[in-house]
Amino acid sequence: MNITITPLLGSRPGSSHAALSSGRVGRALIAVLAATCLFATNGASARAGVGGPVRSTQQLAVLTVAHGVHSTPQSGTRQLSVIAGRTPITGEQTTLPVIGDLTGPDGRRWLRVMLPGRPNGRSGWIAAQGTRPLVTGWHLVIDLTRRRVTAYRDGRIARAFLAVVGKPSTPTPTGEFFVEETVQMSGGEAGGPFALALSARSDALQEFEGGPGQIAMHGRDNLGGTLGTAESHGCIRVDTASIDWLAARVGPGTPVTIYQR
């Protein structure tokens, strides 16, 4: 399988774990990565900062094949782009949050999904055929003012962590995003031991060390940074215990809300 490697931003590494399986990611792939940095059901909800409630569950679409992305849910309309069936770093199946669902006049079912990459916050319609449904109860909320990550499960706070966020010249972007994939790194690599590669891209850096300026949440191995400060290139750094905890629970497609008070 040929995989296009795109380094993350704000770390001298990144790491991927899809289902905590480093065996799927060759050491060479990890080395390249290390060179760089709502469709909800009923349930209790809490506030996601200033952005609204955290829903108890989020519908996801797991792609089994590549999909054309359309601006409207209609066969024969112009494709905005093509979303690969596999993620670029780990090669796992692409998983996208579903924010709309309808059946077109031709009887074909369509899903409106959140999309990774630039511009931040984009979405589009894909055919439901060639996907399988999944649901997550996890939602990550990042408060850039308080420099804090809060993990919600089923609409309730499960845990909160202090973090290092982007400095003023390279701020962490705000908006609604999701986890693209989870990368497990080799011991001692910068930014390890895990990185959650997000759908967000830097607003300040169009590229970073050959990559697209992708934002990630990762550890502080060989990077440091004082928790509770703003000193990264845009990525979010947490301590080892926190990223270990997140990587063991949060999977691709998990919604991520980033906001500034």
Same-domain status, 109 and 86: yes
Enclosing domain of residue 208? 22-37+138-259
Q: State the average pLDDT over residues 221-237.
A: 91
10 lies in some domain:
no
Same-domain status, 237 and 167: yes
Q: What pLDDT digit, counting tens, does each position of 85-132 carry?
A: 999 989 999 999 999 999 988 789 999 999 999 999 999 999 999 999
pLDDT(36) > 70: no
Same-domain status, 150 and 232: yes
45 lies in some domain:
no
Same-domain status, 64 and 157: no
pLDDT(155) > 80: yes
Which of 136, 152, 182 delimits the end of a domain?
136
- CATH number of the structural domain spanning residue 202: 2.40.440.10
Report residue 64's pLDDT band, with 50, 70 and 90 as the boundaries: very high
Same-domain status, 29 and 97: no
Q: State the average pLDDT over residues 50-57.
A: 75
Contact call for residues 149 and 142 (beta carbons, < 8 A): yes
17 lies in some domain:
no
16 lies in some domain:
no
- CATH number of the structural domain spanning residue 102: 2.30.30.40
Decide: helix, strand or coil at residue 32: helix
Contact call for residues 124 and 112 (beta carbons, < 8 A): yes
Out of 96-100, 151-155, 201-205, least confident range:
201-205
7 lies in some domain:
no
CA distance 16 to 89: 7
Same-domain status, 103 and 60: yes
Q: Which residue has the higher pLDDT, 9 or 3?
A: 9
Residue 139's pLDDT is what?
Answer: 98
Same-domain status, 144 and 31: yes
